[in-house]
Amino acid sequence: MEPNSLKKLSKKILFAQAIIFALCSIAFYPLIPIFLNYPPNSINTEFQLSILPAQYVFYYAVVLIVAIFLYFFITLIMLRQLAKLGNNSKGTETLIKIRKLCYNFHVKILLLFPCIPSLAALIILPILSTNITLTVKISLLIFLLISIPCIIFSLFINNIFKSFLRSTYNEDIFKKEKLKKSHITTSFFYQILPSTLVVIFAILFLANYMSTQEISNLKSTIYNQKIDNIISDLEANVADLSNINDITNFLNNNYSSENWFMVKDYECISSNNVEISNFMLQYMKFYAEKTNGRIYDDYGITYEAMVKAIPNTNSEYYIGLKYSTASPVFSVFLFIGAIIMFLLDIVVIYMFAKNISSNIEQVSNSLYDLAKSDSIKTTLLPVTTTDEIGRLTQAFNMVQEKNAYHIEQIRNNQDLLIEKERLASLGQMIGGIAHNLKTPIMSIGGAAEGLQDLVNEYDNSIDDPEVNSKDHHEIAKDMYTWISKIKTHTSYMSDVITAVKGQAVALSGDDVETFTIEELIKRVNILMRHELKSAVINLNYIINVKSNLELKGDVNSLVQVINNMISNSIQAYDGKKNENIDLIIDKYNSNLVISIKDYGPGLPENVKNKLFKEMITTKGKNGTGLGLFMSYSTIKGHFNGNITFESEPGRGTKFNIIIPL
């Protein structure tokens, strides 16, 4: 894994994070005051500075900066883990660890990121003199709203990592990577549930805002009329409106059930222990005339008041009525409805995800069964939908049918392929066989002529008185000599014919016979003698087991595998003369190991990766393409054994045929 590719990946992620969270921060700025029912003209004004240390924009910026800092800090920590793995070590195991981090990256974002700004708000806002109720509301709102950029960010990261995971996937990863089993149901919850929560509680906040505004407008009209009535009664019944005690007594006697209050220079007199906040007093000072006497108790609009100046007091005294704009019954109903909607949403998401998961799992399990099975039986899956999953099922059924067809074709052609390989090998041996038979035939011809001369000599000596019994014995002795030579040559010819005949027999059968190491070596020697002699290559036999050690199996198959490997070793020398090939037979534990070792240039990496996996040839135009692939299959199928190899550049190659005894 190149460090530069990880750096590019990290830059893409950080850039995407900056853009997404910047856009969302701009969008959330005007939404929070609406959802939290902030009074009109209460943020980013001189009024706000009269009751709080800073304006709304400052609070928002502080929370935002802290949240973004924490976002980038956590992201950099996770990216640092990737960079550390990429810089400190290389190889398949490291790449698997990097891929594992990529799989779980978006999950960590969805779990960690929404919690950060809400916790930051819970800590910072009380320090900035924000009341607890409003702090909780703000924190909850930030938690819900911030889930949106987190979901978008996680989806974007998924797309980035998909490209990376696709580019780093190879055969070694396929063999070694063990994926932790997860479910689509869980993924659906990670992706859909946060956005669903945002929608539900956004509706909740919006409904609360609208209901509060409706109640507020209605009550402001009612209490405006009440204030007018009270002032009219005061004018009619209190002689001196500048006497605060007379006004107080009148109000206590006639309006004791109302939450009235009077204000002069921030000094307040009220009934029923009505509390008038500094927020309300300051709001009255700044905006009472602009709002026609409608003032607010605090951020969040849970209480309001209607105030008017008492006549004939030079606007020094104000009288007001405080009232609640909250609707507890509606709020409880709204909250219960949100919970019910949330629970129903969980059930629907679960059932929907479970349905998709079960359909995909059916196909994936069938694919696993198909990959592990040696059977060509086709089990078609029922198509139950017309969407992508239905098409996936149809595609799987088509793959099964084609797979069964190709397996059947391979089985039908297997014998033909094996026979073709054998005939190709026999074609290479024809020259050697002709040479091997030519010499003994000529020798037998010479022996026949010698015998003919001896027969003529013996026939002429029958009536010759000078020929005695000693001469007859000498003639008979010479005849025995020629006959012995003929027997030797005919025996050798018989061995050659037997070896060739064995190699010409098809290997498709499962013939099991008993043969010895001596017989195996003899056949190899007969069939490879001419090729070795023509190439001027020495075959050294290093036999570290008893020659009468018996093996069970198809000796012809084993001879063909050994000869194929010796031929490959001859080809490895590329025409060089007087080189050596070692045929080593050893016994290790309960296995017989037949090794063919050359001292050539070794195998190139591209050939190493294909040995025993593909039909490649090391014999150029003379090869059939089956080569070591078929040799490997032969040893596996006929002897329940294995073939391994060792190769070093410039030092040669060694193939090991391992056969259980």
Query: What pLDDT does residue 506 have?
Result: 43
Bridge partners (DSSP) listed for residue 596: 583, 655
* CA–CA gap between residue 323 and residue 331 (Å, rounded): 17
What is the edge-to-edge ordering of all strands in the sheet holding 537-543?
537-543, 579-588, 591-598, 652-660, 642-648
CA dist list (Å): 55 to 59, 117, 163, 303, 387:
7, 19, 45, 22, 53
| Residue whose tokens read 């020697």 | 525
Give residue 276's region: left, alpha or beta (phi > 0; psi -120 to 50): beta
Q: Which residues contact 266 (CB under 8 A, 6 or more apart)?
A: 281
Find the helix or strand (DSSP H, E) in which 412 lies.
helix 388-460
Q: Which of 572, 560, 635 is nearest to 601 (CA)?
A: 572
Please name the residue that has the structure tokens 């490209």. Answer: 163
Q: 647: which 2 tokens?
A: 């190769």
- In this predicted structure, what is the pLDDT of residue 658? 92
Return the number of other C-beta atoms located less than 10 Å from residue 576's C-beta. Answer: 12
- Closest C-alpha among 195, 203, 89 to residue 145: 195
For the chain, the distance separating the N- and C-terminal CA atoms, rounded to the nearest angstrom, is 45
Residues 6+ apart with CB under 8 A from 614: 629
Q: Cα dist. 564→512, 571, 627, 654 in Å?
A: 21, 11, 7, 13
- Whose CA is closest to 594, among 528, 534, 654? 654
> DSSP string spanning 95-159?
HHHHHHHHHHHHHHHHHHTTHHHHHHHHHHHHHTT--HHHHHHHHHHHHHHHHHHHHHHHHHHHH
pLDDT for position 586: 92
> How far is 551 from 553, CA to CA, in rounded Å?
7
CA 646-647-649 angle, to 5 degrees, is 160
User: CA triplet 441, 487, 502: central angle to 5 degrees?
Assistant: 70
In contact, 246 and 238? CB cutoff 8 Å: yes
Q: What is the dihedral of CA 290, 293, 298, 299, to 10 degrees?
A: -40
Reduced to 3 states, what is the DSSP secondary structure of residue 516?
strand
Along the chain (661 residues), what's the average pLDDT of each consecutive run of 10 residues? 66 82 85 84 90 88 82 79 65 72 70 74 75 73 76 76 72 67 66 74 79 87 91 86 83 86 82 85 89 88 87 77 83 78 80 76 74 66 70 77 73 64 59 64 77 77 75 79 80 68 52 84 83 88 90 84 87 88 91 92 78 58 58 80 88 91 84
Q: How far is Cα 259 from Cα 626, in angstroms, rounded to an integer?
A: 101
DSSP letter at 423 equals: H
Helices 627-639, 388-460: axis angle to 10 degrees equals 90
User: Using CA atoms, how far apart are residues 91 and 86, in angstroms rounded to an integer?
Assistant: 10
What is residue 5's predicted lDDT score, i.e. its pLDDT? 67
Which DSSP string do the residues of 305-320 spell out, in sequence order? EEEEEPTTTTT--EEE
What the block records as the tokens of 577 is 């003369």
Question: Distance between CA 134 and CA 130 in Å, rounded?
Answer: 7
Helices (H), 238-327: 244-254, 278-287
Contacts of 454 (CB under 8 A, 6+ apart): 475, 478, 479, 482
